[in-house]
Amino acid sequence: MADPSSTGKKSAKGTKTEPIPFTSVAFVESPLQFLSALEAHEPGEQMLIRARAKAKGMTSFLDAFDTDWLPDDVRLEPEGAKPGVLRSISPDRILLGDACSGQVHKALGLAYLERQMPEVVILDDGLATYSTIEILSAKRGPLVRPRQKLKASRAVIAAYVADRLRGLARSGKLRWHTALPVPKSTRKSFLKSGAEITRHRFEHLQTLPTGGSHPRDNPVIGSALAADGLIDVRAYRSWLDDLASEGPITYYPHRRETEEFLNELRKDTRVKIKHVGLPIELRLINLPPNSIIRSLPSTAAVSLATLNPDVTIDVTEIPAQWWTGASADSLRKSLNAQMVKADVDS
């Protein structure tokens, strides 16, 4: 992997010259957030992507991602949203992969406590994005992940950042850039707040030379729902057994799945486990027409449907008896209600 920490322009020989006056900064903590930042990059914009390398799954992703795939005016630093970064850079735009991140809240709070915040763009963060948009569409409430309990000090700054972003919405400076389907009720309430929604179809991602897979692999997208305790592990394993009984499958694990679960799965000779390093969207982008990808409801299923309109995404609705009761009814309903084809009305 090329040196990701260079923030100066490079000459033809690769030597540094003067530092780049970045016009935007993106804070990302997952591979999907990283790809979403690239899709939000605008022509001629000098963008700095600050990736939280220690976040789950990010080290292997950054190791596998070729920095030659970045646009010429995009630089990568694996340092995350360190508290002082926004004091030394005054960007015209800030892009947030995880608007509920404590690290991001601290960086924003320190930099913009007494000054005006620039335009903010919300990036896709999987299905958790819907919760973020609902919070920002509401009149009050802290930016907090579902099922997350905050300490008092964190709750204060999470509420402060939420209120600042709502203020940006009222002045037309808050936007959600997404490839996800946008339910009409979600779109209506977010736009009513003064915010904007713009869409993409992974245009930059589709230009990357990342190879692909083959239909004979019978790809199955792994889910984090069992690892997160939201659905029963035995029910999930039984679902995989049923798929494997129809023929060998290639299983692409989710980054949060446990080694214990995967080691058990490896004992099944019908299952080939393929650790991708790069996001599933990059690895399965070039499947031939009429291929079939199997999945539970997930962001990856939506993304792959957008990228591969001629590929069948076979999504299994999660039966009521699979749920452990650890998730809210709203999450269960929204997961099963996800349409694989993206809404284009926003």
Q: Are residues 78 and 172 in the same domain?
A: yes
Q: Are residues 105 and 194 in the same domain?
A: yes
Sheet of 174-178, strand order? 74-77, 47-51, 24-28, 93-96, 119-122, 174-178, 196-199
- One-letter amino acid at 254 equals H
60 vs 48 pLDDT, higher one: 48
Mean pLDDT of the chain: 85
Any domain includes 299:
yes
- Take residue 237 and report the two structure tokens written for it: 């394993």
Q: Is the predicted pLDDT of residue 193 greater than 50, yes or no?
A: yes
Q: Are residues 291 and 270 in the same domain?
A: yes
Q: Are residues 308 and 255 in the same domain?
A: yes
Q: Which of 106, 97, 103 is nearest to 25 (CA)?
A: 97
Q: Is the predicted pLDDT of residue 86 greater than 80, yes or no?
A: yes
What's the pLDDT at 217? 76
Any domain includes 344:
no
Any domain includes 252:
yes
Q: Beta-carbon neighbour count of residue 136 at 10 Å?
A: 24
Q: Of 22-31, 54-63, 206-215, 263-272, which gets the smallest average pLDDT?
A: 206-215
Q: Are residues 190 and 272 in the same domain?
A: no
Q: Which residues of 177-195 are buried (b: 16+ CB within 10 A; e: fewer)?
A: bbbbbbbeebbebbbebeb
Q: Are residues 117 and 192 in the same domain?
A: yes
Any domain includes 320:
yes
Any domain includes 1:
no
Q: Is the predicted pLDDT of residue 26 greater than 90, yes or no?
A: yes
Give the pTM. 0.80
Q: Which of 257, 279, 209, 273 is nearest to 58 (CA)?
A: 279
Any domain includes 198:
yes
Provide the domain count of the chain.
2
Q: Are residues 129 and 150 in the same domain?
A: yes
Count Cβ atoms within 10 A of the Cβ of residue 91 and give its class: 0-12 exposed, 13-18 middle, 19 or more buried: buried
Q: Are residues 15 and 130 in the same domain?
A: yes
Q: Are residues 183 and 270 in the same domain?
A: no
Any domain includes 346:
no
Q: Are residues 172 and 123 in the same domain?
A: yes
The residue whose two tokens read 């936007």 is 175
What's the pLDDT at 108? 95
Q: Is the predicted pLDDT of residue 97 greater than 50, yes or no?
A: yes
We report the CATH number of the domain holding residue 101 as 3.40.50
10 vs 181 pLDDT, higher one: 181
Percent of the chain's residues with pLDDT above 90: 48
Highest mean pLDDT out of 147-161, 258-272, 320-334: 258-272
Q: Are residues 219 and 107 in the same domain?
A: no
What's the pLDDT at 2? 38
Q: Is the predicted pLDDT of residue 6 greater than 70, yes or no?
A: no
Residue 19's pLDDT band, with cuts at 50, 70 and 90, is low
Q: Are residues 107 and 126 in the same domain?
A: yes
Cα separation, 333 vs 15, in Å, equals 53
Structural domain ending residue among the three candidates 179, 206, 233: 206
For CA atoms 250, 255, 257, 261, the dihedral sign is: positive
Any domain includes 343:
no
87 vs 295 pLDDT, higher one: 295
Structural domain ending residue among the three candidates 206, 229, 262: 206
**Torsion on CA atoms 250, 255, 258, 261, rounded to nearest 10:** -20
Highest mean pLDDT out of 60-64, 107-111, 191-195: 191-195
Cα separation, 169 vs 252, in Å, equals 38
145: containing domain: 8-206
